[in-house]
Amino acid sequence: MGVDAVTVRVVVAREAAAGERRVALTPDVVGRLQAAGLDLVVEAGAGVAAGFPDADYEKAGATVVPAGSGLGHAEVLAAVGLPDVSGLRAGQVVVGLLQPLLRPQLMEELAGRGVTVVSLDGLPRTLSRAQSMDALSSQANAAGYKAVLVATEHFARYLPLLITAAGTSKPAEVLVLGAGVAGLQAIGTARRLGAVVRAYDVRPAAKGEVQSLGAQFVELTSVGPAAGEGGYARALSAEEQAAQQAELAGHIARHDIVITTAQVPGRRPPELVTADAVAAMRPGSVLVDMGASELGGNVAGSRPGEVVVTPGGVTIVGAGDLASRLATSASAAYARNLTALLGHLVADGELHVDLDDEITAGVVVAHGGAVVHPATAALLHPQPSEASS
């Protein structure tokens, strides 16, 4: 199928971020896109790092164009992370996990250029009809699974109980901090590998989910329930966070592996594991910080994309890129999420932006020359009470 066969052309460019191996759309969704009235154009090599060669796209019916030339063909530019948006022009659409709360000025610039910006970060995750579009959950699921495998790479012992002729190896003890999608997948994976698993979360509803996976739930007496909006935990006050850190430290010290998953959209992740808590861990222990980013992390001393070994022999893995390390599975899931969202937004060969629709209002950041996403707009033009708080 050529690039002029249908009205809406979706272009997949090679990811711009260093080390990003995922691809936004995979060959298996080409047929569904075509059925929805979209044609897929792929820049050469866009899917190679995720295990999807150009020939697979062509066999599925997509068009492959030279690398760097896709933007000229696009009505919709599809990406995982933020792509190169310097050449986007009025009337074009960019869609991905764009983290608009971290780059509101760029969102405003794109709006001023007449670009429609769609970010899956803002999808209302509590809507049942939006579940097939929930890219944050699908990528967190991949990351939670990979977190346990990364931990085992740096842990010099077996995870399960092993009784052999050479003696008995006791099971590793794993603590997962945060029982959202990533945390629950980490719990399940560690349990399947035979570890003794415990987990903590500030949301009361998480206890039943943790126990259903066969893990023990850690309850703190110093911090009350902290359920927030949209399925996230709310940010703790400074006093609550200090009390949480102090009580968690004792639990952290007796575990061999600690996996942290706490993130707050658009903000610095909470520090759950202090420097003192790290120092109290046994030599050979491993910390995997899934919250590690340029904004900070859940573990004192973690650095995104790096492995740090402390003087006390504790390994800290700054692992904010775990979904990318599971690129084939993560890309396949993301492609299905994105295909479902495009099917929701595109009808009769045209993009329809109905801001009265909950899903559309959640994901559309800029449209019609303006930033229309309330949270992003509030960062650009804070009200007096917000500016002084």
**Per-residue pLDDT tens digits for 37-47:** 999 999 999 99
pLDDT of residue 226: 57
**Exposure string over 132-155, b if 16+ CB within 10 A, otherwise e:** ebbbbbbbbbbbbbbbbbbbbebb
Task: Please confirm, yes or no, whether 289 is among the known catalytic residues.
Answer: no
- Rounded to whole angstroms, the Cα distance separating 172 from 159 reads 5
* Secondary structure (H, E, C), 16-47: CCCCCCCCCCCHHHHHHHHHCCEEEEEECCCC
**Per-residue pLDDT tens digits for 362-382:** 999 999 999 999 999 999 987
Q: By three-state DSSP, how is residue 164 classified? A: strand
pLDDT of residue 385: 57
- Rounded to whole angstroms, the Cα distance separating 63 from 206 reads 45
- For the whole model, what pTM was predicted? 0.91
Mean pLDDT of 186-209: 95
Mean pLDDT of 178-197: 97
Listed in sequence order, the residues at least 6 apart from 76 whose beta carbon sits closer than 8 Å to its beta carbon are 8, 9, 10, 11, 38, 92, 93, 94, 95, 342, 351
- Rounded to whole angstroms, the Cα distance separating 205 from 229 reads 13
Q: Report residue 208's pLDDT band, with 50, 70 and 90 as the boundaries.
A: very high
Mean pLDDT of 7-17: 90
Task: Please confirm, yes or no, whether 131 is among the known catalytic residues.
Answer: yes
pLDDT of residue 294: 87
Q: Which CATH superfamily is domain 143-320 in?
A: NAD(P)-binding Rossmann-like Domain (3.40.50.720)
Task: Please confirm, yes or no, whether 232 is among the known catalytic residues.
Answer: yes
- Rounded to whole angstroms, the Cα distance separating 175 from 4 reads 53
Q: Which CATH superfamily is domain 8-133+326-388 in?
A: NAD(P)-binding Rossmann-like Domain (3.40.50.720)
Q: Pick the catalytic residue: 28, 84, 99, 131?
A: 131
- Count of CA atoms in the C-beta half-sphere (13 A) of 204: 4
Tell me what the pLDDT averaged over the chain comes to. Answer: 91
Q: Report residue 90's pLDDT band, with 50, 70 and 90 as the boundaries.
A: very high
* 248 CB-contact burial (10 Å; exposed 0-12 / middle 13-18 / buried 19+): buried
Instruction: Average the pLDDT over each of 82-86, 139-143, 255-259, 334-338 and give the range with the smallest value.
Output: 82-86
- Rounded to whole angstroms, the Cα distance separating 291 from 331 reads 20
**Strands (E) located in the chain:** 8-12, 38-43, 63-65, 76-78, 93-96, 116-119, 162-164, 167-169, 173-177, 196-200, 216-217, 257-260, 286-289, 307-309, 315-318, 346-347, 350-351, 364-367, 370-371
**Strands (E) located in 178-314:** 196-200, 216-217, 257-260, 286-289, 307-309
Question: What percentage of the chain reaches a pLDDT higher than 90?
Answer: 78
Could you tell me the residue ranges of all domains in the chain? Answer: 8-133+326-388, 143-320
Closest CA to 71 of 57, 47, 91, 98: 91
Same fold, 8-133+326-388 and 143-320: yes
Alpha carbon distance, N-terminus to C-terminus of the chain: 55
**Per-residue pLDDT tens digits for 234-251:** 567 778 778 888 889 999
Q: By three-state DSSP, how is residue 273 classified? A: strand
- Rounded to whole angstroms, the Cα distance separating 64 from 46 reads 9
Quote the tokens at residue 244.
């949480």
Contact 186, 179 (CB under 8 A): no
In DSSP notation, 76-124 reads EEE-SS----TT--TT-EEEE---GGG-HHHHHHHHHTT-EEEEGGG--
Q: Report residue 351's pLDDT band, with 50, 70 and 90 as the boundaries.
A: confident
Mean pLDDT of 288-305: 94
Centre a 10 Å sphere on the Cβ of residue 68 and count the other Cβ atoms it contains: 13
Q: By three-state DSSP, how is residue 167 classified? A: strand
More confident residue, 323 or 388: 323
Quote the tokens at residue 16.
């711009």
Q: Pick the catalytic residue: 125, 192, 234, 325?
A: 125
Instruction: Average the pLDDT over each of 18-22, 41-45, 67-71, 380-384 and give the range with the smallest value.
Output: 380-384
The owner of tokens 């949480």 is 244
Task: Please confirm, yes or no, whether 34 is among the known catalytic residues.
Answer: no
**Per-residue pLDDT tens digits for 257-280:** 999 998 887 788 889 999 999 999
Mean pLDDT of 32-60: 96
Q: Pick the catalytic residue: 92, 137, 139, 293?
A: 137
Q: Pick the catalytic residue: 84, 232, 329, 357?
A: 232
* 189 CB-contact burial (10 Å; exposed 0-12 / middle 13-18 / buried 19+): buried
Mean pLDDT of 38-58: 97
Contact 156, 238 (CB under 8 A): no
Is pLDDT at 2 greater than 60 in this prediction?
Answer: no
